[in-house]
Structure 1
Amino acid sequence: MSMPAFLAPEAWLRADGGPRYLQLRRRLERAISEGLLEPEAPLPPERELAALTGLSRVTVRKAMRSMADDGLIVQRQGSGSFVAPRPRRVEQSLSRLTSFTEDMARRGLRTTSEWLERGRFLPAPQEVLALALGPNDMVARIARVRMAGGEPMAIERAALPLDVLPDPEAVQDSLYELLERHGKRPVRAIQKLAAINLGEEDAALLGVEPGAAGLSIERTSYLASGRPVEFTRSIYRGDKYDFVAELRFSEV
């Protein structure tokens, strides 16, 4: 399908579809995800987009600014707007306990989060066991989609004892950075990995097709004292991550 036909408003613009700039943004995102707009391809100028969609240039500009802020497109002064380059696969070490924010910062990628859940809850049985909780304890639970360069990379669901994280709303970006400021950053962890095929809900959150390859990681993290302070279940996109472990020969 050609770009003009794809952007014809009768195919996607709805009176009950929410703000018009968001509808245009979703349409452009779909063009990118379906390959109609390849990485680094130029987008039509604002004037042309307005003519193709029947929207005002103010609305078009707002949609483009929103996409640029989230790293989906790159705006170059005097040259126009371009689809952001496709991020390279991330090579993630399994021998270092680091945060998602730290990992992406080392690669020069800006991280953002889409919050799914944040609050205090009664613990699930698996959380009680992993965190060695008592019968009356509660947990701080946070769940979010982690993004790098505007693209969803992983889903993180973490539970911590309330005395370790009394205010889940205090987590803005890096959980480990917040814990470090309060002297409660874990120093070691045990992880379990499993290859999976993504279900519909997780696939939708990660922007891939249901059944796509993913990697599930369960991690229990500990303080130097040996106390468990974090139980995290994460799902990573299989097309974005390579996990690497260093092995050393043990002499008998």
Structure 2
Amino acid sequence: MLHMGGMVYQARVEKSKGAVSMTTAPRGVPIPGDPLYVQVAQRILHEIVQRDLRPGDRLPPERTLCRDLGVSRVTLRRALLALADEGAVEADVNRGWFVGGGLLSEPPNALLSFTRMAASRGLTSSARVLAARVRPATIDEAELLGLAPGADIFELERIRLLDGIPVALDRSRVPLQRAPSLPEQDWTRASLYDVLERAGVVPVRASYSVEAVAADARHADLLGLAEGAPLLLAQQITYDQDQRPFELGRMAYRGDRYRFRATLTRPVGLGVARGAGIGSSRGEGARRRSGRGRADGDPRRGT
């Protein structure tokens, strides 16, 4: 499904004496609008993934990181704390910073497979296959996927594991005609999106929803939880490069192993009268005289 995007730059990482040395060439092109500490966090995370570092691997001292990345201690500390908040790194007061094993965190603006999302956190993904079969699409499935009722779909249900720990129950349904080789794959290791891309189906966007639910008996048994334990249930319809739906996905994540995060922006002009600045007496007076009680946005809907 759905990592902090990496910057374009050149870097070299060397392992020595239990630590990792990061040396950057030109810093590359920053992502517009990203604060510097976010860019630094992206660079550190990129190296963790690219160099296949594992939970417990030690990062260089902060002084070395500041020198190699060309940033101040304040900026570096903000970057590391941001990564620590996601579980990507961990701090030891006496020994420094280490690659963390933490939570799997999913931002909604990045469409990644589970395999790649896990790799971006320095984790190893695997799967236990519960079902991998071809069957006729139901009426609802056919409608959502733009198929004729009863058309063949490939259904894949797996328990997804990170470093051997079950974290999610994943179910995907894909029209068989889009990738006829789907039933032939080893789904204990294969990435669904990678297989689809090799067949010419490129995921580009998804309609995605997430809600909190309580684990029923089946989910509790498969994920090693107590019945009633919290789960995050994500459902999505994924679209290809031609804006055609090709996957119905349903993934139930353990609440203690998964975090969903989002960046929210306020629509331009909401709650501020045109032609008047914030706190402008002229703007307030104009609204009182108009009797409308609101400007461009409607404050009755909350702030």
What is aligned with 2:215?
198
Q: Work out whether residues 220 and 227 of structure 2, in 8 Å CA contact, stay in contact via their aligned partners in 1.
A: yes
Instruction: Give the drift of 1:96.
Output: 1.0
What is aligned with 1:36?
none
Is residue 212 of structure 1 aligned with residue 229 of structure 2? yes
Q: Work out whether residues 128 and 134 of structure 1, in 8 Å CA contact, stay in contact via their aligned partners in 2.
A: yes
Which AA in structure 1 matches 2:213? I
Q: Work out whether residues 121 and 138 of structure 1, in 8 Å CA contact, stay in contact via their aligned partners in 2.
A: yes
> 1:91-110 CA deviation, whole Å, 9 max, x = no partner?
21122111110011111111
Is residue 131 of structure 1 aligned with residue 145 of structure 2? yes
Is residue 176 of structure 1 aligned with residue 190 of structure 2? no
> 1:199-239 CA deviation, whole Å, 9 max, x = no partner?
01111111111100001111100012111000011100011
Q: Work out whether residues 101 and 123 of structure 2, in 8 Å CA contact, stay in contact via their aligned partners in 1.
A: no
Partner-residue secondary structure (3-state), 1:220: strand
Instruction: Give the drift of 1:171.
Output: 5.2
Aligned mate of 2:167, from 153, 161, 182: 153
Partner-residue secondary structure (3-state), 1:135: coil
> 1:61-99 CA deviation, whole Å, 9 max, x = no partner?
xxxxxxxxxxxxxxxxxxxxxxxxx94222211221111
Which AA in structure 1 matches 2:183? P
Contiguous gaps of at least 5 residues in structure 2? 1-55, 57-99, 270-303
| Runs of 4+, deviation exceeding 2 Å | none
Partner-residue secondary structure (3-state), 2:211: strand
Q: Work out whether residues 132 and 156 of structure 2, in 8 Å CA contact, stay in contact via their aligned partners in 1.
A: yes
Alpha-carbon RMSD across the aligned residues, in angstroms, is: 1.9
Q: Work out whether residues 143 and 157 of structure 1, in 8 Å CA contact, stay in contact via their aligned partners in 2.
A: yes
Aligned mate of 2:264, from 241, 247, 250: 247
What is the number of equivalent residue pairs in this alignment? 169
Aligned mate of 1:224, from 216, 229, 241: 241
Instruction: Give the drift of 1:164.
Output: 1.4
TM-score, scaled relative to structure 2? 0.53
**Which moves more between the two structures, 138-147 or 239-248?**
239-248
Q: Work out whether residues 141 and 159 of structure 1, in 8 Å CA contact, stay in contact via their aligned partners in 2.
A: yes
Aligned mate of 2:250, from 233, 240, 245: 233
Contiguous gaps of at least 5 residues in structure 1? 1-39, 41-85
Cα separation, 2, equivalents of 1:153 and 1:201: 14
> What percent of counterpart residues are identical?
33
What is aligned with 1:65?
none
> 1:109-160 CA deviation, whole Å, 9 max, x = no partner?
1111000000100113331222111124110110000000100011111000
Q: Work out whether residues 167 and 257 of structure 2, in 8 Å CA contact, stay in contact via their aligned partners in 1.
A: yes
Which AA in structure 2 matches 1:168? P
What is aligned with 1:119?
133
What is aligned with 1:140?
154
TM-score, scaled relative to structure 1? 0.63
What is aligned with 1:164?
178
Is residue 96 of structure 1 aligned with residue 110 of structure 2? yes
What is aligned with 1:71?
none
Which AA in structure 1 matches 2:103? R
